[in-house]
Structure 1
Amino acid sequence: MRGFRHWRWHLDEMYVKLNGEMVYLWRAVYQEGEILESFVTKTRDKQAALTFMKKPLKCHGSPEAITTDGLRFYGAAMNELGSREKREIGRWANNRVENSHLPFRRRERAMLRFRRMKTLQKFASVHANIHNHLSLERHLVDREIYKERRSAASAEWQTIAS
């Protein structure tokens, strides 16, 4: 995983309803679509952003660039971490992470929402790992290679699950 530090990360937060109350699910996504980190908080401010940013930086090292929304708390948190110059903001620059929310939303709807914050955090972490393992980016390879990779991933998943 140390190889991820030389690339671009995308950071974003999304609302998740928890017993009628809105909480925030923060996500760090690698430029190729791998979910690096998921983190749940009740607030959306500098302190929450700082806490969230420290986790992937500690595990995966520092990336070349971090793409975020234009929200001010990201800039304040990155100032405190000393990586303000790595921040990139653009109108459609953060589409990678926005589109990575879709499989999570689909699964959330199927589960009929969440009741507790701890359950949401566990689900977000596990869902990220499973999605990373089984998402093979069909559009990048031909059919034969895709089928080989898919069967290998399924076989590995069967050994893990059993």
Structure 2
Amino acid sequence: MKKSKSPYYGFRFPASVISCAVRWYHRFNLSLLDIGELLLERGVSVTYESVRNWCDRFGAQFARCAKAVRGKAGSTWHLEEVFVKLRGESYVLWRAVDEHGTELDVLLQKRRDKAAAKRFFRRVLRSHPVPRKIVTDQLRSYPAAKADVPKLAGVKRVFVKASARVNNRAENSHQPTRRRERQMQGFRDPRRTQAFLSRFGPIRQHFALPRHQMKAACHRAELQARLLVWQSWADVSSVGIIQ
């Protein structure tokens, strides 16, 4: 049987360097130039364009792996939308998380109407089972779109409360994106923004453990285990890997 080529075949740098750069970019608030400088300190001379290319080529692959290993999504969806500026033009970023704070999906759209809400519902349903309950704010597009999606007909009810802090889990889930937006000095292209945020959430959450709920030793052990899992996705050994 013919052996398939490694996805890193033809690249100048080994998989350990490439996977490390992709992890740094999506896990920490670092620019492409920052990552180039950190790699240079470790004896690797690389341009920021190469780091950008690695993230574009391999980021989605790692995000899929991160989604595959996490637990089953919760039965409650928290949905929230937030406005973002792309080159001075307003867009709406839709986000869905479960009751554990795990990001289910994100979708960048131009509008905030019924059609946009329906499009987002169908996108999330493609990769997640039908929820038991949906929590939203007072946007009327949600119940109108839900009525037009047959899969959601059996959902018990939709909470529409803005003042009772029912939807704080979804609102708080926007904070990492806001921090990253400031560090990147704003998003620019809609397609690239959608691609980046689709990768950013799963990869960041794979390493962003609830350390306030864990003892230090437990946190370090779990983080080390997840780093080993990341290395297995990149098909590299721990010998000589850049950390």
Which residue does 1:94 correspond to in 2?
167
**1:110 is the counterpart of 2:178:** no
CA deviation profile, 1:71-123 (whole Å, cap 9, x unmatched) = 11111011112256331233201100111111111111111112210011011
- The answer to whether structure 1 residue 130 and structure 2 residue 199 are counterparts is no
Q: Which amino acid aligns with 1:30?
A: D
| Cα distance, 1:160 vs structure 2 | 4.1
Unaligned runs of 5+ in 1: none
Q: Partner amino acid for 2:177?
A: F
**For the Cα contact (< 8 Å) 1:37–1:56, is it kept in 2?**
yes
Render the CA deviation track for 1:26-83: whole Å, top value 9, x for unaligned.
Answer: 0011111111101010001000000001111121111111110011111101111225
Specify whether residues 117 and 86 from structure 1 end up closer, same or farther in structure 2 by C-alpha distance, changes over 3 A only: same
Residues 78 and 169, structure 2, Cα contact 8 Å, conserved in 1: yes
Shifted more, 8-17 versus 130-139: the winner is 130-139
User: Number of residues paired by the alignment?
Assistant: 161
Give the partner amino acid of 1:22: S
1:63-78 superposed matches below 5 A: 63-78=131-146
Distance apart, 1:138 and its partner CA: 1.5
TM-score in terms of structure 2 length: 0.62
Greater per-residue strand proportion: 1
> 1:120 corresponds to which letter in structure 2?
T
Task: State the 1:156 CA deviation.
Answer: 2.9
Is contact 1:75–1:84 with CA below 8 Å preserved after alignment?
Answer: no
Q: How many Å separate the matches in 1 of 2:144 and 2:205?
A: 30
In the alignment, the residues of structure 1 paired with residue 160 and residue 223 of structure 2 have an alpha-carbon distance, to the nearest angstrom, of: 35
In structure 2, the gaps of 5 or more residues are 1-67, 237-243
Pairwise CA distance, 1:155? 3.1
Greater fraction helix: 1
Contact 2:75 / 2:131 at 8 angstroms: preserved in 1? yes
Instruction: Write the distance in 2 (CA, Å) between the matches of 1:142 and 1:97.
Output: 26
Partner-residue secondary structure (3-state), 2:148: helix
Q: In structure 2, what is the equivalent of residue 26 of structure 1?
A: 94
Give the whole-Å Cα distance in 1 for the aligned partners of 2:174 and 2:154.
Answer: 25
Instruction: In structure 2, give the amino acid aligned to 1:97.
Output: A
1:17 pairs, out of 74, 80, 85, with: 85
TM-score with structure 1 length normalisation? 0.90
Instruction: Give how far 1:146 is off.
Output: 1.2
Which is further off, 78-87 or 38-47? 78-87
Residues 102-160 of structure 1, C-alpha deviations (whole Å, 9 max, x = no match): 11111111111122100110111011111221121122322221111111223333454
Question: What is the letter of the counterpart of residue 72 of structure 2?
Answer: G
- Alignment RMSD (CA, Å): 1.9
Q: Corresponding residue for 2:72? A: 3
Provide the identity percentage: 39
